[in-house]
Structure 1
């Protein structure tokens, strides 16, 4: 069958984009043809994918999104497919991969009262309703049990339309047999001494991921610990605002920003712990990537995958409501604790036993089943 995959933008280092690619390849491995519609593709084109790009000219994101959606509809009408799979909320989807959190919940509880009267609210609210409304047919692939509850609260979406997937951590994130050698080479390359702490932060979208909180936590360490601690921040975003913050805090010499990279496994092995103090995070795939690499984690409770850190006993979780002083204290405690080796052992044991790798295959199976149902029902596009 022919599957249409839609996402606003592809680049190699985004969590949603990586999930899209792995699911699409899993569908391709099942023998299906993959047609992609996107506003922009930055990176290598997978063999066998048919990729179409179109970025409309518009002054605002809502207008650009709407024009792109209309273009996609026209393309599919001219070149029919068996199923339409979206990775951003929009009308006309048969399957939606829910990487984003519930917009309506955020609009009601994290925005000012006047926000509901803005064009931006109307656009994103309409798109979310088009996916989850009880009168629609779209099947959703969910990666967070918490968000499932919220979608059903606001839209009364039928249970059979919501499929909760297991995590889908790439096995190349597993700690390799020569990890000690890789770690030594990595720390030599970046000038990290044996008695220094390297704290790692990974994620595109520095504001949402809480880079400002991580910088403040580094500043909040005791002088002796701070003097031996460095922070590496890796992600596809503009670091200028946060470089200025580090400068104002007097810690710029201890903070290094990297753009998105394809050698994250080296960083996971070379660091001493991962910090992820996100303001909002549907899942937090990097938390599990750290665990399977044997890297202890400090994250906020709002992360959908935070419970895995507790389950694995491989780090610490900052409870809600968030307090900066609490994060600072927990960071210092982890850096000075004698539990690092035990946390690593717990993480690697968890990696060997937990079902955290099968998401792409499970998602592909549901997409295929949905496509077969649409075909049997005589639905045409």
Structure 2
């Protein structure tokens, strides 16, 4: 069941487009839930698995952060009087309430604490999944050749330092922080640096910031694309100083490609960077000066980057970060209480 579908339908799947409309998102989602419940009453399903919080789910895939926590800490008290708040709060409660029966597939351990803070959800209903990194993101046997060809294509000299930032939602991902950190580098490092940011977002604000910081000729902002592995292999560092990030899949995509990472501790997958010895993590509370310091430290130390590269590839060999779908299937198919 979905409100829209793009692309081909996989073999063996039935996609049901739910024909509901409304002037507001919350009203549209309420009508969607009601339509689905009515259809399921006529056409029985063994399991109902949802990617959006809503009543009637057997299993919920928790890709989104805790709504209640954001509403209470990032919004004014007046927001909690709105119809939008009442809708999304009730739908989240339908999944996470202590008396509910929905099994919860978690992709970040950080969010479980928040859900339990507001809903007292029992531990046994949470199931932490491996990240589910695609195996084709791993560094191939000809990684060195791919890197050399990429750097030739982008006119990167052997001593140039390419920083990579990947992910739509440039504001949330901290692109402004990255630009400030590059501008703060010592001239001897800054003059060797280039930044490529990739994502489907409006780049106007950040191109303006780059011009203001004197970085216009060192920053390229590209639309989302399918050949991300080439960029991961061709770069020298992934920088991801997000303001808020439930997981941060790109962190692990960089790790399995052997690319050192600089990120922030708010990212759900930041702990993997420390476990893999694949880079550095800016602790909370975030300080721009600390990001500036760590970026300069990483770029000035090729031996450390080589160690992080080796640590990342070794981690990719043995870590359980690929079996997301298999573990999820086990939870979905287990006998219901």
Q: What TM-score comes out, normalization by structure 2 length?
A: 0.94
CA–CA separation in structure 1 for the residues paired with 2:152 and 2:26: 47
Aligned-residue CA RMSD (Å): 1.8
Alignment correspondent of 1:368:
333
Cα drift, residue 52 of structure 1: 2.6
Cα drift, residue 333 of structure 1: 1.2
Cα drift, residue 348 of structure 1: 0.8
Alignment correspondent of 1:228:
192
Cα drift, residue 171 of structure 1: 0.9
Give the conservation status (yes or no) of the 8 Å contact 1:94–1:137: yes
Q: In the superposition, relative to structure 1, how do residues 220 and 74 fare at CA in structure 2: closer, same or farther (>3 Å)?
A: farther
Q: 1:306 aligns with which of 247, 270, 275?
A: 270
Cα drift, residue 177 of structure 1: 0.6
Q: Where do 1:55-94 residues align within 5 Å?
A: 56-94=20-58
Q: What TM-score comes out, normalization by structure 1 length?
A: 0.83
In the TM superposition, what whole-angstrom CA distance separates every residue of 1:35-92 from its partner, at most 9, and x where no partner exists?
xx22222334323322233474433322232232233333333433221111121122
Alignment correspondent of 2:308:
343
Helix, strand or coil at the partner of 2:268: coil
Cα drift, residue 200 of structure 1: 0.8
| Comparing 44-53 and 323-332, the one that deviates more | 44-53
Alignment correspondent of 1:16:
none
CA–CA separation in structure 1 for the residues paired with 2:51 and 2:135: 23
Give the conservation status (yes or no) of the 8 Å contact 1:55–1:64: no
In the TM superposition, what whole-angstrom CA distance separates every residue of 1:228-270 from its partner, at most 9, and x where no partner exists?
2111111232323322332333322222222222221111111
Q: 1:290 aligns with which of 226, 248, 254?
A: 254
Q: In the superposition, relative to structure 1, how do residues 362 and 283 fare at CA in structure 2: closer, same or farther (>3 Å)?
A: same
CA–CA separation in structure 1 for the residues paired with 2:6 and 2:150: 27
Alignment correspondent of 1:127:
91
Cα drift, residue 340 of structure 1: 1.2
Q: Does 1:96 align with 2:68?
A: no
CA–CA separation in structure 2 for the residues paired with 1:247 and 1:67: 46
CA–CA separation in structure 1 for the residues paired with 2:230 and 2:213: 28
Give the conservation status (yes or no) of the 8 Å contact 1:173–1:293: yes
Helix, strand or coil at the partner of 1:83: coil
CA–CA separation in structure 1 for the residues paired with 2:5 and 2:66: 26
Alignment correspondent of 1:50:
14
CA–CA separation in structure 2 for the residues paired with 1:165 and 1:68: 28
Q: 2:143 aligns with which of 176, 179, 187?
A: 179
Segments of 5+ residues of structure 2 without an aligned counterpart are none
Q: In the superposition, relative to structure 1, how do residues 40 and 213 fare at CA in structure 2: closer, same or farther (>3 Å)?
A: farther
Segments of 5+ residues of structure 1 without an aligned counterpart are 1-36, 375-381
CA–CA separation in structure 2 for the residues paired with 1:253 and 1:60: 42
| Comparing 333-342 and 57-66, the one that deviates more | 57-66
